[in-house]
Amino acid sequence: MAVRKSNGWRLMAGVLILVCVGLIVIIVAFVVKVDLLHERGEHIKCGSRRTNNIDPSEAALPDLHDDLTFKELKAIQEYIYTINDLNIVKPSQATVNSSYIYTSDLHPPKKSDILAYMAGTGPKPERHALLMIFRGDAVPPVVEEYVVGPLPEPTRHSLYVNSARKNPVPFAFRPVGFVEFRSLFVSLYPEIDRKIGFILTESYGATFTNCGSECLSFYPDPVSSGLMKQTVRKLWLITLHELPYRSLHCLDLLILANLNSSDPTEYFVERLVYSGKDYSSLDDLAKQYNISSTPKTQVPFPKLDKDMFSTLNRRGTPVPTEPLRAPRMFEPDGKRYKVKHRSVEYMQWQFDFRMSSMQGPQLHNIRFNNETIAYEIGLQEISVFYSSKNKATTSANLLDSMALIGSTSHDLVPAVDCPETSTFFNTTYIGESMTDDPIILKNAFCLFEHNKHTPLRRHMAYSLYGVYSGMPDSVLTLRSILTVGNYDYVLDFIFHQSGALEVSVLSTGYILSTFHTPSEKPYGFKLQDHITGPLHHHVVLFKADIDIHGTDNRYETLDISTEEVPNYLSSDPSDTYFQIRFDRKLKRTELEAAYKCNFDHPKYHIIHSNEYQTRHNELKAYRLQLDGMSKQLLPENTGNEPAVSWARHQMAVTKFKEEERYASSCYAVFDSFDNTVNFTTFLADDEDVVDEDLVFWIPMGAHHIPHTEDLPVVSTSGTQMSFSLYPYNYFPECPSSQSRDSIRVELKDKNSPEDGFTVERYGNAPNITCLAHAPNLEQHVPH
C-alpha cells in the first residue's frame, strides 16, 4: 500500500507540474502573440528592389560552365557552314535526307583542367561546343557528334571521341524531331487518308488531312531495336482526336510506320491495329472493312466546349464562392542573392548553373563557406515505361532525352510556375527551327528565395529557461519545369542555410491514355467513356560528382542493426533485451558500392575524406539521403531494359572517368539492341573506390496507376521524389547559427511572464506589413 501511495503522489505531482508548465506556456504564448502583433510595422510595396529579369546568356566573357551564348552559336553556325565535307544546310532548309545541326550543347573542359585553373596552377581552359549532326545525305546516313571550338571564334572541329559513347551512331537511332514529323505529314498522312479515309470518317468523324477543325492526329511511340532485335527505325502512331488535350482522346487505330530510310517517300505503313484486329497494310484494312464479320468502332468527334473533361477551363461551383486572392510573396529588403552570368551567391552558398539541351539542368562548382561540396550535380535522363494490352502502349518505353530534355523548359509563368519575385533566365541553342538563328528559350530557369513556412529549427523552453528560439527555413531555389510531351516535371535545386542541398522532382501534366477495352483491366482503370489510364513507371536519373575536402573520397555506410544486451533491471541474470546500433562499412569496389535497398537493413550513406576528421577524431563528412527510391521490376537484359540499366540499383558509385560523363544518351529510346552508352560497363571493371574521385548515380522513381483525380492533369501533391546532401560532422555546429533570420524571445522574469519579454531580431527590421501589387505578367511572352 505504501508503495502504491508513493507512486500515486508522484503521479499527482507530475500532473500538477505539467499543468503549471502548460499555464506558463499559454500565458507566454498569448502575451508574445499580442505584443508581436502590436509591434510597429512599416508599409512596403511587394517585390524586389532589384530587377526580376536579367539575361546573363550574353555575358561578354562567359565562364567555363556558362551556357553557350547567342553570339557564340552564331559564330559556330558561320564556321560549320563553310565545311564543305559536312554539307550542312540551315535549319529552315533541313529535310530528313539532308545534313543539319539537330542540337548544340556546351562541351565542358576536362575536370582536371578546370580544377587546375581554379587552383591557380593551370591556364584557363578553352570553351567548346558539342554539335549533334544528322547526316541524312551521307552514304550510309548516320548521326555524328562534333566538338567545335575554341569559342568565341571557332577554327576547328573534330569527331567527339569517347570510349564509353559510340560515335557515329546509326541513323535509325536518331532522336525524334520536327523535321521527321513534318515529313510524316507530307509523305504518309495523305496516303492514309486516300486509302482508309472513309473508315476514319465513319469511325471517328475526322481524317488526318483537309479536315478543318475536326482532325485526327497521332502520339508517336518509338519502337526500340531491343524489341525487334535489329537496327530498324519504326514508330507506332497512336491515333487520337486533335482536341485539348490530345493524349486523353486516344482511339483504337494504331499504325506501325516503317521510317527506316532517309528518303521520306519510302516511308510506309507496315502494320495496323483497328478495333482490336491486326491488318497487314492499309489496303488490307480497306479490303476487309466491308466484310460483315470485321469489328468496327464508332467514336464520333467530340464537341469541344469549356466543360470538356480534358480542358483546363475552370468548371463547377466556384471555390471560394467570392473572388479572394491567394497569399503571395514579397522581399522586404530586396534580393538576398547575387547573380553574375551563371554564377550565384546566396548566404554561404556559391554555385554555377546551366541548361544542357541534351541532359537538362546542371549545377557546377557547388560550394559552402568557400569549400567545395560537389563538382557537378545534374539531370541525366527521364524514363517512363508503360504497360498495356494495347500493342502500341505495351512497347511505349520512353526515354525523354529523345526530345532534348533541356529544350523543354521555357516560358515559366510568374506567380504560378515561380514566385513573381523570381529572377528569370533564358537559354539558347541551335536546333530544328523554321528560322535560321539560334533558338532563344525565354524564362527557362527561375531563381528565387522563399520561406518554406516550416521552422528550420526551433525550441520553446519558457518553463525551464524562459526562452524561445527559432528560425524559419528560408531557402534559395533554382527551378526549371520540363514539359516533355504530355508530362511536366518541376525540378528544383534547393539550398538551405543549414548547409543542406536538396534536389526535388515533382510530376504533373496529362497522362497518356489508351483506348478502353475489357482486356486493359490489369493495367489501368477506366477513367472516361473511351479511355483507360495505363500503369507506368517514372524513373529520373541524376549524376552527383561529390567532392568532400578534395577529390580523394571514401563512400561508407553506417549499417543499423539490432543487438541483444543484458537486462540490468531484471532479477534474472540471463534476461536480455534488444536495442539498435550501427557499424561502419567501407565500400571498397564499384560492385560492392552498388546499392539495392533492403528495408530490413537500414543505413546512412556517408561521403568523406580520410584526411579530415573532427577535433574528436570522428569522420567529417556529408550524408546522402535518398527519398525517391524505386525498384525497376523488369528482368535484366530483356526487351528495352538495357536502355535503363542505370535503374538496376537505387544508387551506383563509380570512380570518376572523363569518358563516363553520361549514363544515357539521346539515342537510348531506339538503341537498346546496341546501346550507344552502356551503363553496365561503368561497373563491370569493378574499380577501387577507396580514396578516389567518386561519382554517384542516383535514380529516383515512382509507379503511377492513374485515377480519375488525375483528370484533367496530374496534381503535384504526392509525386515528390528527392535526394539531399546533409553536412554530417562537417561543421562544429549547425551553420545556420550564424543567420540573422533567427528570432529569440526571452522572458524578463520566467517566474512572472506577465512582466513581458524581449525579442531579439539580430538587426532585422520588425514585423512588416505588405501592400501587394499585381504580378507583372507582361514579362511572360510565350515562346
Q: Which candidate in 221, 352, 400, 547 is catalytic?
A: 400
CB atoms near residue 559 (< 10 Å): 14
CB atoms near residue 264 (< 10 Å): 20
Give the 3-state secondary structure of 206-263.
CECCCCCCCEEEEEEEEECHHHHCCCCCEEEEEEEECCCCHHHCEEEEEEEEECCCCC
**528 - beta bridge partners?**
531
- What is the DSSP-derived secondary structure letter of residue 97? T
Cα three-residue angle 231-234-237, rounded to 5 degrees: 165
User: What's the half-sphere exposure (Cβ side, CA atoms, 13 Å) at 702?
Assistant: 15
Q: How far is CA 725 from the centre of its chain?
A: 17
Report the alpha-carbon distance of residue 322 to residue 619 in Å, rounded.
Answer: 58
Is residue 487 annotated as part of the catalytic site, yes or no?
yes
Do 123 and 145 meet the contact criterion of CB atoms below 8 Å apart?
Answer: no
Report the alpha-carbon distance of residue 603 to residue 557 in Å, rounded.
Answer: 6
Length of the chain: 783
Report the alpha-carbon distance of residue 568 to residue 575 in Å, rounded.
Answer: 8
**525 - beta bridge partners?**
533
Cα three-residue angle 394-400-401, rounded to 5 degrees: 135
Report the alpha-carbon distance of residue 484 to residue 612 in Å, rounded.
Answer: 44
Phi/psi-derived region of residue 395, left when phi > 0, alpha when psi is between -120 and 50, beta in every other case: alpha
Q: Which residue has the cell 508522484?
A: 10
| Phi, psi values for residue 464, rounded to 5° | -90, -50
In order, the DSSP letters of 675-714 are -SS-THHHHHT--B-TTB-EEEEEEEEEEE---GGGSSSB
Question: In 3D, which of 530, 377, 408 has the Cα closest to residue 481?
Answer: 408
Q: Which candidate in 245, 279, 346, 487 is catalytic?
A: 487
**Enzyme catalytic residues:** 400, 487
